[in-house]
Structure 1
Amino acid sequence: MKRTITQQVTGHRTVDGAGVSLVRVLGHDTVQAFDPILMLDSFDSTNPDEYTAGFPLHPHRGIETISYVYKGKMKHKDTIGNTDTVSDGEVQWMNSGSGIMHAEEVPAADRLLGVQLWLNLPAAQKMSSPTYRALHVEDIPEVAIEGGRIRVLAGAYGEVEGHKSEHLPFTYYDIHLTKGAKIGLPTVHDDSIMLFTLKGEAIIDGVVVQEKTAVKLSEGDSILIEAAGDSSQVLFMASRALKEPVAWAGPIVMNTQEELAQASRELQDGTFIKEGMEY
């Protein structure tokens, strides 16, 4: 059975961090439909004044943050001792687990293009040990297809394996299609799958989808993606819906209001960080 589009969400421009202009696509209103992806922010700018203020030190708990910097740079520093930079086609993957503080600098570049998404953690792993992993160009396999290519950011494409998520199954492709090209992807019938048109329009299930739009798909065994215009760059994300309660306040995502209140108290009394060090 072929998958069909059940929902489209085009983002709205907002400001976050210390003054970073971005397009927020997914958020509180889409939690249930796009489960387990909580948030998706898109970055696309040729004006450094829109993003170089960056994201000063801030906490997270209960989620994984996955930043795909297709163009530009992002510098990371956290309370478990990591200092790192990803750039041009690389990924910053952080499990906040029981609690982490981190900061992200975004240096000036010719173009900043990419996305950050928040992947929910299962209730049993909300308080797991925080971790950080950078996926550099050499860690990301690329597969040539007719009329394009697929970068396997996570999961597997056929026998080609990318990064393996430690907490929740997650397949993440960056699909590039040239004019007139198309690709049919087999899918696990009940996986939770979404697509995001990072650059250019795309034809998905026969429907023209505008740039910077998230598309949720029905259950099914395959999906057809076609280029629209001269080229299309589409992000494919597949996981397993958690179907768990979500209690979300700012950078903290738990399962109950009581757990959120506990996190707030710990931030105030200095006991939030369970593993690591002062920043």
Structure 2
Amino acid sequence: MTTLQLPAVTRSREVERLVNGIPTTDGAGVRLTRVLTHDLQRRLDPFLMLDAFRSDNPDDYIAGFPSHPHRGFETVTYMLNGRMRHRDNAGNEGLLTEGGVQWMTAGRGIVHSEIPEQQDGLMEGFQLWVNLPGKNKMTAPWYRDIPAGDIPVYDLGNGASLKLIAGLVAGATGAITRDDTEPFYADLTIAAGQSVSLPLQASHNAFVYVYRGEASIGGRAVKSTQMGLLQNAADADGVTVTAGAAETRLIVLSGKPLAESIVQWGPFVMNSREQVEQAILDYQAGRF
């Protein structure tokens, strides 16, 4: 593991709001927790949705997500545990395994399925939706499976490490970069009682989601399975996170706002109602 020296953060962002995820089902009955919901899409632009899933009960996940369409955004699936098979109507197929990431650009339209390839055991991970700018919503679909070994992991010292899925930090480059939304997506591990300061661009929207242990940001606790929505302050140059009494793991995300209209109908996210209606017609006519 390569050592990474992070720059000092002179003023940390604070937690503007704590968000408790909403238990729900999706696909063919997969149980999950919806963390970033529709009402936060503008506040956390360019991020549209974040689902967290964790269960060792096959009945909660075994049916998976049969074939379904998308248009106008990107999906990012990060597996902590378990295996998921991807197939789509562009001929792509891949197996997402422990620690790996699937990054898919739906663009002008894709139909895909995500089906677990295990009969028992723990299935855990996240799915994030990242918006596309209007100029790219009708781009050609694109797909990439990124195995765990291709995602850089850095030693931050004092028992902390950072897995850099997307974006740039301290001269390091993640497995994926994007020009328009500039997403930063990191999986951060912090030893009990230790602190890590991550630089974040002040103009970008950002949040954390704790999935092990408990974190403290600016003296405010963010418990396991909670999102901490981070304040935007012009003079804040990052965020300082302190682990609680046990090792803490969390994902940290930030991105450049697109500041465009967001019109969503289910799996279609466009800039106008007319564009969404066209997406529905195109899908029904088999034009994806």
- TM-score, normalised to structure 2's length? 0.91
What amino acid maps onto 1:237 in structure 2?
A: L
Is 1:175 the equivalent of 2:188?
yes
2:4 aligns with none
Q: Secondary structure at the match of 2:35?
A: strand
What amino acid maps onto 2:125 in structure 1?
A: G
2:144 aligns with 133
1:277 aligns with none
Task: Report matched runs for 1:80-95 at 5 Å.
Answer: 80-95=90-105
Gaps of 5+ in 2: 1-10
1:263 aligns with 279
Q: List per-residue Cα deviations over 1:163-195 (Å, max 9, x = no partner).
A: 233453111110011211110112212111111
Task: Report matched runs for 1:99-248 at 5 Å.
Answer: 99-108=109-118, 109-145=120-156, 146-166=158-178, 168-219=181-232, 220-248=236-264
Is 1:52 the equivalent of 2:65?
no
Gaps of 5+ in 1: 274-279
Which whole-Å CA distance do the structure 2 matches of 1:165 and 1:206 have between them? 32
What amino acid maps onto 1:139 in structure 2?
A: D
1:64 aligns with 74
Which whole-Å CA distance do the structure 2 matches of 1:244 and 1:86 have between them? 32
Which whole-Å CA distance do the structure 1 matches of 2:266 and 2:131 have between them? 14
Percent identity reads 37
Aligned length: 272
What amino acid maps onto 1:17 in structure 2?
A: G
Instruction: Compute the displacement of 1:260 (Å).
Output: 0.7
2:3 aligns with none
Which whole-Å CA distance do the structure 2 matches of 1:14 and 1:189 have between them? 33
Q: Secondary structure at the match of 2:117?
A: coil
What amino acid maps onto 1:25 in structure 2?
A: V
- Preserved contact between residue 114 and residue 198 of structure 1 (Cα < 8 Å): no
- Preserved contact between residue 216 and residue 243 of structure 2 (Cα < 8 Å): yes
Instruction: Compute the displacement of 1:50 (Å).
Output: 0.5
Instruction: Compute the displacement of 1:70 (Å).
Output: 1.0
What amino acid maps onto 1:209 in structure 2?
A: V
Which whole-Å CA distance do the structure 2 matches of 1:184 and 1:202 have between them? 13
Q: List per-residue Cα deviations over 1:193-227 (Å, max 9, x = no partner).
A: 11111222211222111211222212221211011
Which whole-Å CA distance do the structure 1 matches of 2:83 and 2:169 have between them? 26
Q: List per-residue Cα deviations over 1:119-140 (Å, max 9, x = no partner).
A: 0111111111110011112211
Which whole-Å CA distance do the structure 1 matches of 2:283 and 2:168 have between them? 38
Which whole-Å CA distance do the structure 2 matches of 1:70 and 1:163 have between them? 16
Which whole-Å CA distance do the structure 2 matches of 1:66 and 1:112 have between them? 16
Which whole-Å CA distance do the structure 2 matches of 1:202 and 1:110 have between them? 28
More moved, 196-205 vs 228-237: 196-205
Which whole-Å CA distance do the structure 1 matches of 2:89 and 2:20 have between them? 34
- Preserved contact between residue 181 and residue 257 of structure 2 (Cα < 8 Å): no
- Preserved contact between residue 139 and residue 162 of structure 1 (Cα < 8 Å): no
RMSD: 1.3
